[in-house]
Amino acid sequence: MNKSILAEITQVMNSPLFFASTEQRKAVENMHTCRTAARGGRIVQCPNCYTRTVVYNPCNTRECPTCSNRNKVLWQKKVSKKLLPVSHYHLVFSMPAAFTTTWLRNKKKVAEILFKSASKVIAELRATTGLLCGSALDFQSHGRGMSYKPHIHCILSDGGINQNGKWERLRTLRYTEMANRFHEIAYQELLKQIHIESLPNTKDIKDNEWRIYPEYHRDTGKSIAGYLGHTSCGAVINLKQTFDINENTIGFSETHNGKQIETVLGKKVFVERYLNHIPPAGLVTIRYYGLYSNQHTDELKAIRKEFETVLETEEESVIDLCLNCQNRMYTVVLFPANTDPEDIEQLCSHGPPRLLGSHAYN
């Protein structure tokens, strides 16, 4: 079928027996208007050949297929710029599957609890090692096949600033002790903040599913940022792929550990899972702690001088380039949402070469 997957999602969502929250419906509506005149935009001009191009505003919805690639590149660039050129740990903090329903009913609270618990475990390393390490935490809610699997990814520097202001590597991390501590903190917070009716029966909770999965990346953390970038600021699956859409099912593919995984879901289940992975309003899903937090900007800047770093040029994929001469294009006209397409065309073809203030540039 040639029907777009977004149109399929909308059709299922609007069926009489399907429930979607106001927030979820608004998100899908935003996706439909993404990069269209309905959102307004700007006209950019090449300073060399004076070619003009219309650039419509994005919706920046987490699961939007139009925004996802650009947001992914921007996020990877931002995180990579923050990380020191040292080895990093990639830690995944996971909770038992029995809490899936708890998360579905209390998405924001559970995510906040996971952030609080994982960040506290990392912060306690300073007390035991005397080192101010840097970490970036990312909440994700999905597993294979868009299954529900709320967890926290952590990028942790292998080392930190000691009491003398010098860089010192970490000793071996005690993963089991850290996992037990994460279990202790998170479970107590769940009991304190979540209504008992939304919590699973204790006999259904498998304590060994409170885990920390560790990986070690030598000399850099950028490979971890690249891995997380696929879903941290983009869709949980690639919505630009070719879907196998039948009368009652939707088939799609994903890449996990270098392997292509095929999944077929009923349409209702597919749409439910897709919508449920859209983060609730107000939830900040990526956070920085310790040396990588804004609180320690000066210390990070100072310690970075101890390492040889090569300044990276700006990625071409996140700026507007002239198709004729490949020069960077600059904003010359801004237009509001719902501007008449004929007026936009007029501005693009015949409007004055009026450069705006630097704040309006790309």
Say yes or no to pLDDT of 185 above 90: yes
Measure CA 185 to chain center.
Answer: 25
Record the tokens describing residue 153, joined without a space: 């990814």
**Pick from 278, 168, 294: which is nearest to 233 by CA?**
278
Contacts of 237 (CB under 8 A, 6+ apart): 146, 252, 254, 274
Q: What is the pLDDT of residues 55-103, one digit of tens each?
A: 999 998 877 878 877 777 788 888 888 999 999 999 999 999 999 999 9
CA–CA gap between residue 116 and residue 39 (Å, rounded): 36
Record the tokens describing residue 88, joined without a space: 């990093």
Per-residue pLDDT, 254: 86
Say yes or no to pLDDT of 266 above 60: yes
Measure CA 94 to chain center.
Answer: 17
Per-residue pLDDT, 122: 97
Say yes or no to pLDDT of 259 above 80: yes
**Pick from 284, 264, 319, 338: which is nearest to 46 by CA?**
319
Contacts of 164 (CB under 8 A, 6+ apart): none
CA–CA gap between residue 154 and residue 289 (Å, rounded): 10
Q: What is the pLDDT of residues 139-167, one digit of tens each?
A: 999 999 999 999 999 999 999 999 999 99
Say yes or no to pLDDT of 3 above 80: no
CA–CA gap between residue 182 and residue 122 (Å, rounded): 10
**Statement: the pTM of the whole predicted model exceeds 0.85:** yes
Q: How far apart are the first and last CA of the chain?
A: 38
323: left (phi over 0), alpha (psi -120 to 50) or beta: alpha
**Pick from 326, 316, 324: which is nearest to 362 by CA?**
316
CB distance 109 to 193 below 8 Å: yes
Q: Give the chain's domains with CATH numbers.
A: 72-236+280-304 (3.30.70)
**pLDDT band with cut points at 50, 70 and 90 for residue 233:** low
**pLDDT band with cut points at 50, 70 and 90 for residue 342:** confident
Record the tokens describing residue 70, joined without a space: 């650009």
The mean of the pLDDT values for the chain is 88
The pair phi, psi for residue 213, each rounded to 5°, is -95, 120
Q: What is the pLDDT of residues 282-306, one digit of tens each?
A: 999 999 999 999 999 999 999 998 8
Beta bridge partners of 250: 245, 265
Per-residue pLDDT, 98: 98
Residue with tokens 């992975």: 277
3-state secondary structure the chain: CCCCHHHHHHHHHCCCCCCCCHHHHHHHHHHHHCCCHHHCEEEEECCCCCCEEEEECCCCCCCCCCCHHHHHHHHHHHHHHHCCCCCEEEEEEECCHHHHHHHHHCHHHHHHHHHHHHHHHHHHHHHHHCCEEEEEEEEEEECHHHCEEEEEEEEEEEEEECCCCCEECCCCCCHHHHHHHHHHHHHHHHHHHCCHHHCCCHHHCCHHHCEEEEEEECCCCHHHHHHHHHHHCCCCCCCCCCCEECCCEEEEEEEECCEEEEEEEEHHHHHHHHHHCCCCCCCCCEEEEECCCHHHHHHHHHHHCCCCCCCCCCCHHHCCECCCCCCECEEEEEECCCCCHHHHHHHHHHCCCCCCCHHHCC
Q: Is the four-CA dihedral 116, 278, 194, 211 of positive or negative sign?
A: negative
